[in-house]
Structure formats: C-alpha cells, structure tokens
Amino acid sequence: MRNLRLAAALLVPALGVAALPLFAAAFSETTSTVVVEVPVQVIRDGQPVRGLTQADFSIFDGRKKQVITGFEVIDLATQASPAQRAAAPTVSPAGRRHFLLLFDLAFSDPKAVVKAREAASKVVDELHPTDLVGVATYSSLKGPQLVLGFTPDRAQISAAISTLGKPEMLGRNPDPLRLVLADAKAHFGSAGGGGVTGGEAAAAKEEAALEHLQSLVAAEERAEASAQQQAVINLTRSLADLSKVMGGVQGRKYVVYLSEGFDSSLVQGSTDDDRRAEMAAQSQSGESYLVSSDDMFGDTKSLNEIEKMLEEFRRADCVIQAVDIAGLRAAGDLGNRRSGGKDTLLNFAKSTGGELFENFNDLGGAMGQMLDRTSVTYVLSFQPDKLEWNGSFHRLKVELANQRGARVVSRPGYYAPKPFAQRSPMERLLDAQTQVVAGDEEGSLDVAVLAAPFAMPTERAYVPVLIEVNGKTLLAGKQGPTLPTEVFVYAFDSAGVIQDYITQNLAFEVAKVQQQLLASGFKFFGHLELPPGDYSVRVLVRNGTTGESGLRVVPVHVPAFATSEAALLPPFVPEAPGRWLMAREQPRGDYKQAPYPFMMAGTAYIPASRPVLAPGQETQLALVAYSLADGNLEANARVLSADGKEMGPAAIQVLKREAGGKPSRLVANVTPPKLPPGEYRLEVRLTGAGAAHTSWTPFVVQGS
C-alpha cells in the first residue's frame, strides 16, 4: 500500500495555510444567549442539606428577581463504593469542583516545596473522580505559571506535581491547552534498568527537583532582600489577575495555596510586642523621628493591594485553602522560618471562606470535612435580559425558603462575557479547556468528524481523524486578511485519561481561499495512536479571530487487534477530489510514516466525515473489516434517525472483496429509502460463517 507521503497530493497544505501564533486580536461580535449558572451549597450544622428542589430557591441579579430556567442536583456522595466512584456520571462544568494546586516559590523554602508535593498528592487521592485539578507555580520573576490545566487525568496531575513543570523532566512536546503534561508511559514506566532501584530513582528525581527549586528560590531571595514590600505587591497583583481568570471558569473553585507565607509585618507593621512598646516610648519622649512609619502602622499600599486581591477572589467565587508548608522542612531548617507567615496565610483563607491547614500529617484527610461540605451542589440557571458584553460585574443573591438554620454558600456575582479580542491568552486557554473536558457538543461552527482504528504491528492502533468544517460558519463575522483557525483533538479513555492528542494552528489567507471556503469548507487530516479500549474523541475547532467554535464528540472503539478481535469499521463513503480545501497535521508520533489507510481497488480516496446521500440513488461504500471469515457474506443495511429510531431498510450489494491482505476490504453499493431532509445513521451488518459484524456512519439528506 502507498505511504502517506505518496498520498500528499490528496492533502495539500499550501493553499494559503501556514503556521500562526495561537491567538489573534480582532473580534467580530455575534448575538448570543447568555446562560448564567450558579452553583449553590446549603450547609446546616456543618453538613450539606439534601433533598431541596427548585421551588426552595430564589435568585436575584442585582435587585431583579430572575426566573430559574435550569435546575440540577449533583451529589458526589451517592458514589459511595469504589465501583460507583469509577462509574461516576458526567457532571456539568458548573457543578464540578475545580482545585488549583498553587505552589508558591517566592515565599517558600525549596526543601519545603519538595515535601509539599507529597502533601498535594494526598489531597488528590481524596478527591472525587469528577473533580478537576490544575497545577500552577508562582515566582516573582515569572508570576503565575500554569503547569497543568483543569483535568480529571490523575496520571497527568501526578506528573505535574512531581515535576512542577521542569521541561527536561517531561516526556513530550507541550500541549497548548495544558491538558497533557507528560507521556504517562515514559514518565511512569519502570524505574529499573542499569541496576537503579525504584527507591534510588525516586531519590534521584527528588534531588533533581530540589536542585531546580533551589535555583529559583535563590533568585527570589535576592529580589526580596532589595524590595520585600514590592515582592508582596507583585504577589497580590498576580494573584488578583489569576482570580479574574478563575472567575471565567464554571463551577466551584478552590486554590490550594501551598506556601510559607510572607512576613505579616511587611504590611501590618511590627507584631513584636517589645518592639511596639519601644516605638511607643520613643514617640512619647519626642523621639518619633526614630520610629519607622511602616514598623508602626504597616504599609498602606500593600494592605490595599491585598484587600483588592481578596475581593477579586470573592467576586470570582474562588476560595483559598491555605496550606502552611513551613512544618514540612527538615528539623535543621526551621530556624529560617519567615516570621508572621502563618498570619498572612490565615488572612488569605478566612477572607475568602477557606481554611488554614498547618502541622498536618495527612492533608487529604485534614481537608475531608471541606470535601464533605461541598459534596452536594445545586446548580441554578437563568438568562439575564439585555446583558452587555463588557466584562462588568453583576451582583447575585440566592435566597432559600423554609430552611431554618441553613447557610447558603453561592457565588456573590458573575462577570458579563467579554468580546473575544479582549480576553487574555489564559482566559482563552481555560475556555477551550472547559469545552474539551466537559465534552458537550456545542458551538456555532458546523463541524463533522470521522475517526476509525487501523491495526499496526505494535499494540497501539493508527486512528485517522478527518475533520470537516463548514466554511460559511467559519467565515461568519468580521475577518481580517488572515483567518487563524485552531484545531484541538483529544482522546479520553473510559477512565478519563487522555491517551493521545493533536493540536494545530492554521492560517488561511482569505483572499486566496474565501471562494472555496464559502463553497464547502476545509478538511483536516490527522491521526491518533491509541491502545485497545473505548474512547471519547473530542474535537474542538475555533476561529482565532472571533472566538466562534464548534465541539464534536465521536465514540471510538479500538479492538484488541493483537488477539484477533473482530471489527467492522464505519462504512466509508469516498468523496470526489477537490471538494474541500485540504490541510493535514504536522508529522508526529511513531506512525508518521504509516501506510495510507483509505484504499479501494488499489486507489487512494478520502472518505466523507458526514456523507450526503440521496434517497433512491446508489452510493458506493468502502467496507473494512478485521478477522472477517472467509467464504460467502450476507450484507444488510438499515437507516436510523439521529435519535436511534428505525426509518427502514436500505438496499445494499457487495460488489467486490479484495483477495488476500489484512484487513479485508470490500466494495459495496447502498441505496437509502425515501427520507425527508435531515440527519440519519446508516447501519451495515455483515454475516458470514455464523458471525455477524455491525457498524454505522452518520449521513445527511439535503433538501431540494
């Protein structure tokens, strides 16, 4: 069979398509309905209140009472057993808990940070499978750095905690959405080899991490020595910016802030009783010139910055759970403990509704009470009238009827959406993250996806992914001379682990390709490399100018080809060449030289991701099967509606079966019955030697 390189004529990346930075600056505003989702917890005597209904709640946007248009109850405690937890249902983004593990490198000793990784891992062990976790670091030199975005993938979280983003400790190129940090197989593979034991390997990794952190913290300490108060201001401003970004994340949000804290006297004045008595005596004796105003009263500017930061966290409905990691140092290191650090951590936590954790042996267990309190969430939804897209803050109030002694915990307000051009790169990143992780098909871009597994000599299958994007929807709104387009493809296995991904940025020169985009659109060819199992392949395509996007989710089963598991791939409908503007992925992975998979009678073709069939007219199909029995085959086909209702049989005839080779390749004709315009599924069944194989593909019947 021909190699992918020989099929290059079918996949031309040169028609105005080029590399482009991830984000653009222009914006075309579109009319959208905004739905505000408000997660609410109701607590009585420290325990969540269950059994409430929509009628128990009222919600006010400012002074105006809103009509509650949506109501959802999420009770994480209902998954009590390990089996139930593993099979936990999909939870909407607004009902999910988000934990950002933030390691403070500016105000922490490196040895304490290294030990804090263990504490953070224990927190993750106690979380519910539907909880999402992100990992970040803060330094005065770089500010907040997102190491890993919010993900359910515990292997990636473990890799992020153990490396804290050190590039040479990772296993693959960075993922722009920060959902995949490291190649799990490379990172968590055997520690053996060369006589190195698992314990020695772990010690070596810890030593490497410590060396990395010491170099960072040494620079921090030099900066602190010259301007400690400015370092505090930098921290609070950076965290305020982080909280604004977190405000755009749906759901309950918790920043687990692992730090030793900064000296509270930098902002509050001296807390030493003897020093304050000395300053008071100097003032009374006329020696006030000897008294430092900052020592006596604190730094007003720093205090104001801290309060602004805490208010931003409250507005973002983001709670700081402060973890004092000073106690994690070795005994000989405790003499360098920053005085007053615990006071600042306590202020951060209590001011945002969180708690301070100190002197702990098991942080996960210590946080157990907080996890229990937040295990029941009521998600209230409403649609505000005439909401301007200006990023303004709107105050909310949630009231509860007939529940004496109960306390309502809910977001104090929400931010109106901002035009895409006004969003920061981090806000755009988190928005894409949220869409991919949630896995809800949505968006204004019309996107169709085809993905199918092909056997390879190794365990992992070669899974081509063909993405069709309707050009009219992609071009909607005001465009510049260049149309930046972002493509994200992630394969989630049944445990929520991302096994592989594709990301690529394209740039279309509008003057060159507008006519073809309007006539059809563009088609992207990429591939995934996946082990046997069931997958949710999630494809997000976004216009980098307007922010308009489309998310599609395709289920894919990868057979155990090595054990001869039988499989009939989706029926492929070859398309006439030249219909789409073609683009393909950058060479990647172990299979970048894989044989081109779509062949029929020795000729390469490109299948349609969403075929268009005409009732009563024959359409040619290419059928590909593995472990198909020799001999005569019986073929049957039927049409189902998009929701699975049977619409009638389709006439099908197998014309040819190619001799020899694996897999088996067949050519067939199918004629669908009379159908009104709409979306359907074509199901094909092959029976031979007592075995039956079934697969399906979506198709469209167009109106006249």
Digit-coded pLDDT (tens) for 219-257 = 554 444 446 778 888 899 999 988 888 888 888 899 999
- Least confident residue range of 17-21, 52-56, 180-184, 506-510: 17-21
Q: Strand, helix or coil at 635?
A: strand
Where residue 171 falls among pLDDT bands split at 50, 70, 90? very low
What burial class does residue 686 get, using C-beta atoms within 10 Å of its C-beta: 0-12 exposed, 13-18 middle, 19+ buried? buried
- Cα distance between residue 632 and residue 642, in whole Å: 32
Please check whether residues 319 and 271 belong to one and the same domain: yes
Looking at residue 303, its pLDDT comes to: 84
Same domain, 124 and 263: yes
Q: Are residues 437 and 458 in the same domain?
A: yes
pLDDT at 184 over 60: no
Do 453 and 556 touch, CB atoms closer than 8 A?
A: yes
Q: Are 546 and 562 in contact (CB under 8 A)?
A: no
> Residue 306: is its pLDDT beyond 60?
yes
One-letter amino acid of 522: F
Per-residue pLDDT band at 360 (split at 50, 70, 90)? confident
Counting DSSP H helices and E strands in the chain, the numbers are 16, 34
Q: How far is residue 273 CA from its own chain's centroid? A: 49
Residue 252 CB burial class (10 angstroms; 0-12, 13-18, ≥19): buried
Number of domains forming the structure of the chain: 4
Reported as a pLDDT band with limits 50, 70 and 90, residue 155 is: confident
Using the predicted structure, report yes or no on whether residue 524 has a pLDDT greater than 80.
Answer: yes
Q: In the beta sheet, which residues pair with residue 649?
A: 638
Q: Average per-residue pLDDT in the chain?
A: 82
Distance CA 570, CA 190 (A): 37
Q: Do 489 and 577 fall within a single domain?
A: yes
Contact indicator for 491, 499 with CB cutoff of 8 Å: yes
Instruction: Give the CATH number, domain containing residue 480.
Output: 2.60.40.3880
Judged against a pLDDT cut of 70, whether residue 202 lies above it is answered with no
Q: Are residues 273 and 162 in the same domain?
A: yes
One domain, residues 323 and 453: no
Q: Are the C-beta atoms of residues 371 and 127 closer than 8 Å to each other?
A: yes
Split at pLDDT 50, 70, 90, the class of 259 is very high
Q: Is the pLDDT of residue 423 over 60?
A: yes
Band (143; pLDDT cuts 50, 70, 90):
confident
Q: What is the pLDDT of residue 226?
A: 42
Name the β-bridge partners of 254.
99, 319
600 and 535, same structural domain?
A: yes
Query: Parallel, antiparallel, or unpaired for β 413-415 and 70-75?
Result: unpaired
Residues 6 or more apart whose Cβ sits within 8 Å of residue 692: 685, 686
Distance of CA 223 to the CA centre of its chain: 34
Residue 347's pLDDT band (boundaries 50, 70, 90)? very high
Cα separation values, 465 from 111, 213, 585, 588, 598, Å: 46, 41, 10, 14, 12
Residue 350, token pair as written in the block: 């209590």
Range of lowest pLDDT (286-295, 326-335, 347-356, 655-664): 286-295
Q: How many CB atoms lie within 10 A of CB 148?
A: 26
Which pLDDT band, with edges at 50, 70 and 90, does 197 fall under? very low
**Is the separation of the CB atoms in 471 and 543 below 8 Å?**
no
Please tell me the predicted confidence (pLDDT) of residue 96. 87
**What are the E-state strand segments in 92-189?**
97-104, 132-139, 143-151
Burial of 63 (0-12, 13-18, 19+ CB in 10 A): exposed
Give helix 198-226 / helix 154-163 axis angle, nearest 10°. Answer: 60
Q: 194: which residues sit within 8 A by CB, 6+ positions away?
A: none
* CA 313/CA 11 separation, integer angstroms: 48
Say whether pTM exceeds 0.85: no
Find the mean pLDDT for residues 616-639: 91
Task: Please check whether residues 299 and 344 belong to one and the same domain.
Answer: yes
* 452 and 478 fall within a common domain: yes
Residue scoring higher pLDDT (316 or 270): 316
Assign 533 a pLDDT band (cuts: 50, 70, 90).
Answer: very high
Q: Judge contact between 240 and 308, C-beta under 8 A.
A: yes
Higher pLDDT, 290 or 674: 674
CATH number of the CATH domain containing 282: 3.40.50.410
Structure tokens at 43: 């607590």
Tell me how long the chain is: 704
**3-class secondary-structure state, position 230:** helix
Asked which of 555, 585, 608 is the last residue of a domain, the reply is: 608
Nearest to 606 by CA among 585, 626, 637, 582: 582
Same domain for 223 and 301, yes or no, is yes
Domain boundary among 608, 638, 656: 608
The answer to whether residues 231 and 314 belong to one domain is yes
* Rounded average pLDDT over 429-449: 92
Asked which of 608, 625, 658 is the last residue of a domain, the reply is 608
Nearest CA-CA partner of 671 in 694, 689, 655: 655
- Indicate the residue type of 438: A
Q: pLDDT grade, residue 329 (50/70/90)?
A: low
Listed range (316-330, 491-505, 508-522) with the worst mean pLDDT: 316-330
Mean pLDDT along residues 136-148 = 88
- Is residue 289 domain-shared with residue 333, that is, in the same domain? yes
> What CATH number does the domain containing 681 carry?
2.60.40.10
Name the residue among 202, 181, 176, 89 with its Cα closest to residue 133: 181
User: Which domain covers residue 184, as residue numbers?
Assistant: 94-189+196-373
Judged against a pLDDT cut of 50, whether residue 411 lies above it is answered with: yes
Q: Which amino acid type is present at position 498?
A: I
Cβ neighbors of 558 (< 8 A, separation 6 or more) are: 453, 461, 463, 530, 531, 532, 533, 534, 535
